[in-house]
Amino acid sequence: MLRSERKSFRRFLALYALLMLGIFSLASYVYYRAQEQLMLTGVKSRMIDYAAEQIRRLRELHYAFPFERTYPRDPRFRSAIYDLEYVRIFSTLHSDRVDFLRDIYRRDGYVYFVKLLDSYYLGAKYLFIEVPEDRRWLTVTLERILIAGLILGALMAVLGYFLARLFLRPMRRSIELLDRFIQDTTHELNTPLSAILGNIEMIESRRLEARDRKRFERIALAARTVSTLYEDLKFLTLERHRPPEDEPLDMKALLEERLEFFALAIRSKQITLERDLAPAQRVADRRLMARLIDNLLSNAIKYNRRGGMIRVRLRPRILEIEDSGIGMAPDEVAEIFQRYRRFSESEGGFGLGLDIVRRIAEHYGMTIDISSEKGEGTRVRVIWESDHA
């Protein structure tokens, strides 16, 4: 799966998970409220009986006042009375935070029932009855929600995976068609490109007139550009399963050879080339390292400005290629290694080069560090810590 596919896949699953979580949370809340209401309904009948008993005691106390001043209490519940202005007259409740708008509710581990008094015994209009809440219903409810969440979560995860695959199928089909087209194109390019390059090598440009030499150099430049693209296509389509043939490489000699290959392209854009090449050895497949170097140099030339600069620096464990080209924004740098990803429509190519660089670097355990600034240029550093055997 390509990085773009993985990114779309993750986004779809994240959106799907968020949607399913929202639906499950809403359903869980509705179920929780229903169970809470069921519990309150079961407690309410008992609290109505308690309220009736307390009202009878308040009536007796009302008529016996002031000879009897002891507020009636009951070991089964606590109570409180409030007047018409919501002012507390007397209370044995655990909390003074009471709600006059609901007839029954739960708070802080207790259930409260509110009864409006028809007769103002002791000046009271509201009677509150408080009993401890039996929280077994809450434990059972949460267990059921958790079990349902685990079962539905597993089912939704499987369903989401298949929906995501179905969602990506058109993209995958398009990529497969593009890959097949590239593979067929690569086969067709082989013979004519070999003939063109072979004939170019046979022509001695020094014997041509100045005007013809300039035309010849343009043809040679175009042929080498196509050759670079062809090598990338061949690497991805025809040789990607070919096992590497590692050998000790003289990186300096290989780099000088590839710079010579691109010399005509560098001259055509009047680019100043600065070399700082120290001897360096590396155990690797020559073909793979050539592809890595070619793609980095090709990008440095392609996205450079006319009359710009390219600086190539080689050290025993570092290859650095810096250009003064168009540069990239930080978000573009983060996506630069995606296959078919291009940030400049004015330049040719399929967006394959840096994907190939990434594959080769990962195979040999190399680190690629790219620093770039829009309009200022780009610096690519390839770092290897130890020889790959």
pLDDT tens track for 214-251? 777 677 767 777 777 667 767 766 566 677 888 998 99
What residues contact 311, with CB distance under 8 A and at least 6 apart? 274, 276, 320, 321, 322, 323
pLDDT tens for each residue of 373-389:
888 889 999 998 755 44
Give per-residue pLDDT as tens, 4-32.
666 777 777 788 788 888 998 999 999 99
pLDDT of residue 350: 53
H or E element that contains 300: helix 286-302
- Nearest one of 114, 120, 129 to 63, comparing CA atoms: 120
**CB neighbours of 80 closer than 8 A, spacing ≥ 6?**
88, 90, 91, 92, 93, 98, 127, 128, 130
* DSSP label at residue 116: E
Structure tokens at 224: 């080498």
Exposed, middle or buried: residue 67 (CB in 10 Å: 0-12, 13-18, 19+)? exposed
The pLDDT value given to residue 389: 40
Q: What pLDDT, in 10s, does the model give residues 321-337?
A: 999 988 888 877 777 77
pLDDT at 202 over 80: no
pLDDT at 132 over 90: yes
How far is the C-alpha of 20 from the C-alpha of 40, rounded, in Å? 30
Q: What mean pLDDT comes out for the span 367-376?
A: 88
What three-state secondary structure class fits 283? strand
Please report the pLDDT score of residue 343 as a whole number: 53
